[in-house]
Structure 1
């Protein structure tokens, strides 16, 4: 369909102008299918994204991939619904165009949108998942950790230095990305929570963690999300910010569980950059003497439930 409003890379537009010419809606979020044309527009705004914990929009360091965070502020993002226009754009013959917010129209509150260029969804690896907070729906609701879809969009033409600088570099471009996140989890996509353990064991482990945190009056707890290349993100168990101790909890105190906890902690602590970080295993009861010796020789601490209280063996700093 011919248009009187051509899209020129680097030029400034408003969403209102684009809606009039190409269709869609100004209020339809960051992903807008044009109902007057075979187009899909995506809009990125770093200042808005940071409010929701999104740190992923931007180019790869070499400019060959534009990472774009999908839609949905609560729960795990999915390919359907508001993200469908990006997922299906090629199959439906729609061209995909991206814009970055760039100031406001003089004298108005209307944001200007700088045209980045045309893109296609990477057919080999359409997106990766990364951790992000869930937007609370009630005042008394605690923030939770979920996963968002970060689309991999490939530029149809080369990216100029000016456009690269206007958009910036995505955090996904790092080989490793570690983020401190709330304790609560609202996701099934994390590697460590994807069904590798039985439901009963997970429930017992969660109860143990809750009891332990409740017993540590005055301590502040969080977790760490660790993203590595193209793998599902890792999610640690609780991190005691007060004592700088990272705990791996297990529902049982047998050899298999203790050895798994040791391996997980050794994996995690390579990626968590905290001065004087200590690591410890949290168990529902005292393990056998040989397993206690294993933890000591590995430089790991131990916390276990003894009646209504928890006993500790100190951990060494890594």
Structure 2
């Protein structure tokens, strides 16, 4: 049916994604992943095991429990059933998009929703509400209606995955600044990965799923051979290095593979004070030189030494810095 036909039968507006009906005891919920992706909603669909349907709430900016979001949250108290419809991808002229009825749902009683970061229409990150809908009886499942990410996990998950050279990070800055930062970081990461592989090191990256989070965290380079984790930044400024330190500390809580060293990868040598900051955190620093090679700062008790990587006898592995920490 089209939205107009559904509205005529069961009430609710013909346009919004979440429509409490004034004529029937239902909240009509419309899922259109293709349209949702234009607004930064990438979570909608069935979980991997088919137990939960993830549905992103409505609203620009940080989503709050107003309007349709509140009607979903409070549907049990209001005596309403959640009725989910999903687009088929077909359009009728006139009439609009065709929808099929997925079935009746209610919010999961233990974890009705989670917060997840996603971009808005301007690509600025914001906090969205992602509802966890549980089927009430028989529901319709079709090919291609799985969510882009799996449901939340009760425990942390960690795995080594291949490095995707084209997969760069998004920053909460202007589009021009963001694009430039992405290009610099991607180029630096690609060059250093090639350097490690030339030294016969196995290289990947870590995929981390914090408990209760929908979106996984992807690290930059993970040197499998030496157990060294790198966080790359496109600039050697204080804010960039502070962010890198925070990211590495965040990642470390969820890592269950061998981790000998955490290191910040930079396009140039930072100032002496920032080098001191990095090493005081028990982290190493690798930076590109004007010749296109890489140098690193070794952390040793009460001493900081800089030397070219090709002179490091143990293929770049830093000495144990536990004494200095």
Normalised to the residue count of structure 2, the TM-score between the two structures is 0.59
Distance 1:39 1:219, change over 3 A: same
Q: What's the CA shift for 1:71?
A: 0.6
Matched, 1:77 2:63: yes
C-alpha change, 1:35 and 1:62, in structure 2 (3 Å) is same
Task: Decide whether the 8 Å contact of 1:183 with 1:238 is kept in 2.
Answer: no
**Contact map agreement 1:145 1:181 (CA 8 A) in 2:** no
CA distance in 1, matches of 2:181, 2:43: 34
Which 4+ stretches in 1 moved above 2 angstroms? 103-109, 164-170, 172-182, 215-221, 225-229, 231-239, 246-251, 257-271, 277-296, 300-303, 312-318
Larger relative contact order, structure 1 or 2 (CA cutoff 8 Å, min sep 6): 1
Q: Does 1:95 align with 2:77?
A: no
SS in 2 for 1:49: helix
Aligned to 2:31: 44
Deviations 1:145-182 (A, max 9, x none): 1121110000001445xx24252244133756999653
* Structure-1 residue corresponding to 2:203: none
| Structure 2 residue 181 is the aligned partner of structure 1 residue 219 | no
Q: 1:279 aligns with which of 241, 254, 264?
A: 264
Where does structure 1 lack aligned partners over 5 or more consecutive residues?
1-12, 137-142, 186-209, 272-276, 304-311
Q: Give the Cα separation in 1 of the matches to 2:110 and 2:33.
A: 27
Deviations 1:251-276 (A, max 9, x none): 7x99xx998675335458999xxxxx
Q: Please state whether the residue corresponding to 2:76 is helix, strand or coil.
A: coil
- Contact 2:105-2:134 at 8 Å conserved across structures: yes
d(CA) in 2 for partners of 1:290, 1:42: 49
How do 1:1-318 residues align onto structure 2 when only pairs under 5 Å count? 13-27=1-15, 29-72=16-59, 74-104=60-90, 106-108=92-94, 110-136=96-122, 143-159=123-139, 163-165=141-143, 167-173=145-151, 182-184=170-172, 219=184, 228-231=210-213, 245-246=232-233, 263-264=249-250, 266=252, 279-280=264-265, 285-288=273-276, 291=279, 294-296=282-284, 300-301=285-286, 314=296
In structure 2, relative to structure 1, the CA distance for the partners of 1:114 and 1:54 (3 Å cut) is same
Cα contact 1:42–1:98 (8 A) shared by 2: yes
Return the TM-score normalized by structure 1: 0.60
Residues 21, 36 of structure 1: 8 Å contact kept: no
CA distance in 1, matches of 2:265, 2:96: 52
Alpha-carbon contact 1:56-1:67 (below 8 Å) kept: yes
- Distance in 2, Cα, partners of 1:44 & 1:135: 18
| CA separation of 1:235 and 1:104: change in aligned 2, threshold 3 A | closer
**For residue 139 of structure 1, what is the aligned residue in structure 2?**
none
Tell me if the contact between 1:226 and 1:233 (Cα under 8 Å) persists in the aligned partners: no
Q: Residue 34 of structure 1: CA displacement? A: 0.7
Asked if structure 2 preserves the Cα contact closer than 8 Å seen for 1:31 and 1:42, the reply is yes
Point out where structure 2 has 5 or more consecutive residues left out of the alignment. Answer: 162-166, 187-206, 222-229, 289-293, 298-308, 310-315, 318-325
Q: In the aligned structure 2, how far is the partner of 1:31 from the partner of 1:20?
A: 16
Q: Give how far 1:250 is off.
A: 6.9
Is the Cα–Cα contact under 8 Å of residues 231 and 265 in structure 2 kept in the other structure?
no
